[in-house]
Amino acid sequence: MNLETFYEYCLSKLGVTEHFPFNEDALVLKVGNKIFLLSSLSSWEMGNPKVNLKCDPEKAQELRAEYEGIQPGYHMSKKHWNTVTINEDVSDSLVKELIDHSYELVFNSLSNKIKNEILIVEN
């Protein structure tokens, strides 16, 4: 997966906004003003892309046991976040599935008011 494909896939989701709250390297994607994804742009440029994604704690443990490219979240809550190394032993389809999972966890945690606002704006 390349950066352009990754970026376009993420931004195709309803209500996703892009931020750089820490520095110009740390891409943060949010839905409803809550983070669901972080990635270092320089890691993509250096050919070692990684992304931090929110994950159900039980599923996170299973994924870490199965894939070398999925580790506890770097600089994040190890219980709720994974760092996924793109193009290692994690397929592009699984990366997309994990992005979806992270997005859905965060979207589903939003208040009904915010969810409805996102749905109305996007439709």
pLDDT of residue 67: 96
The CA angle 24-22-20, to the nearest 5 degrees, is 50
Segments of the chain scoring below 50 in pLDDT: none
Query: What is the edge-to-edge ordering of all strands in the sheet holding 50-54?
Result: 16-19, 26-31, 34-40, 50-54, 81-85, 70-72
Tell me the one-letter amino acid at 10.
Answer: C
Identify the architecture of domain 3-114 in CATH: Alpha-Beta Complex (3.90)
- Going from N- to C-terminal start, the domains of the chain cover 3-114
pLDDT of residue 29: 98
Beta partners for residue 72, in sequence order: 82
pLDDT of residue 81: 97
The pTM of this model reads 0.93
Q: Where are the beta strands (DSSP E) in the chain?
A: 16-19, 26-31, 34-40, 50-54, 70-72, 81-85
pLDDT of residue 74: 84
- At which residue do the structure tokens 């389809």 appear? 93
pLDDT of residue 123: 58
pLDDT tens for each residue of 65-86 = 999 999 999 888 889 999 999 9
Q: What is the rounded CA–CA span in Å between residue 36 and residue 59? A: 16
Q: What is the rounded CA–CA span in Å between residue 84 and residue 100? A: 14
